[in-house]
């Protein structure tokens, strides 16, 4: 199953009461496909504020995204958690909703061993026929899925990819050791080009909400052998890659990207507690960043 090279981890639009705004959600999906050139969308990932979405909201979002996309792009459901049984439940729910694959974050907070993480992902993969994308993001979870464990998991038939945020070195090792059919995505926008250079396939992105079309041009330039062009595009995109997470101080995702989308005329609303919206100085920084 190919999810394409540019995947957007989609925000969840909220109204003034911080309930899901379905009209804006539909407009956002259209915009990400048509204007920002996303090949696939991750729904209910961390960027979609999955920790504060109920299971019912997630199920409704999975179904809505599948129906709205209508085959124009793939829909990947964020169904990972630190509870294996709950992840299996969410994954089965997503499969019934008609999604094309699932993204499973490494179990956070309870800090399982490598064997525990292997068994966690294996159990979920065996409970579904959907393609599975692993997600290693040590900065958020407190654990890191090792190269060795990732390569063990890559032998399981329907575990087809990983979203890697540990290091370019680890991406390199995974690319070198994994089956040819297993692909590596960067989970860090700023590492899109270096990831491609070491054999990564693409990016699961936040910045693609704002500069997706440019990122698609970057990827195409690199894959077509126009490396100097790719480097130039990367240099022009880099301030946005960094600025959406440091504006100018660290800001938790998706606070900044939601503010940027509002500036672009997409009223995606605010964020649910415990996240809080940008401050006035941060808003000024974002306004200058996206022009």
Per the annotation, the verdict on 163 as an active-site residue is: yes
Q: Determine which one of 37, 74, 163, 258 is catalytic.
A: 163
Torsion, Cα of 279, 30, 192, 109 (10° steps): 60
Q: Determine which one of 31, 118, 135, 222 is catalytic.
A: 135
Distance between CA atoms of 266 and 242, rounded to whole angstroms? 21
Q: Which residues pair with 74 in a beta bridge?
A: 40
Residues in the chain: 291
16 with 44: CB under 8 angstroms?
no
Per the annotation, the verdict on 185 as an active-site residue is: no
Q: Can you point out the beta strands (E) in 65-212?
A: 74-78, 101-105, 132-136, 159-164, 183-186, 202-205
117 with 146: CB under 8 angstroms?
no
> Which are the catalytic amino acids?
135, 163
């Amino acid at each position: 199953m190919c999810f394409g090279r540019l995947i957007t981890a989609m925000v969840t639009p909220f109204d003034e009461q911080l309930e899901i705004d379905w009209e804006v959600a539909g407009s956002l999906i259209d915009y990400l496909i048509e204007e920002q050139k996303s090949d696939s969308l991750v729904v209910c990932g961390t960027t979609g504020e999955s920790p504060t979405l109920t299971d019912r909201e997630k199920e409704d979002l999975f179904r809505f995204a599948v129906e709205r996309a209508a085959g124009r792009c793939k829909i990947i459901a964020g169904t990972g958690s630190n509870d294996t049984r709950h992840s299996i439940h969410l994954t089965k729910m997503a499969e019934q909703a008609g999604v094309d694959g699932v993204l499973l974050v490494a179990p956070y907070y309870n800090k399982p061993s490598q064997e525990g993480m292997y068994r966690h992902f294996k159990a979920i993969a065996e409970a579904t026929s959907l393609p599975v994308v692993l997600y290693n993001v040590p900065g958020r979870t407190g654990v890191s899925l090792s190269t060795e464990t990732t390569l063990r998991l890559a032998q399981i038939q329907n575990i087809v990819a990983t979203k890697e945020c540990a290091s370019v070195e680890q991406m390199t090792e995974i690319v070198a050791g994994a089956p040819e059919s297993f692909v590596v995505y960067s989970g860090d926008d700023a590492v899109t080009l270096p990831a491609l250079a070491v054999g990564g396939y693409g990016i699961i992105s936040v910045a693609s909400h704002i500069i997706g079309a440019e990122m698609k041009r970057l990827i195409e330039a690199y894959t077509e052998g126009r490396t100097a062009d790719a480097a130039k595009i990367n240099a022009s995109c880099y301030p946005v890659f960094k600025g959406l997470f440091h504006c100018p101080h660290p800001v938790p995702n998706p606070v900044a990207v939601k503010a940027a989308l509002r500036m672009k005329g997409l009223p995606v609303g605010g964020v649910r507690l415990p996240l809080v919206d940008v401050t006035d100085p941060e808003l000024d920084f974002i306004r200058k960043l996206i022009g």
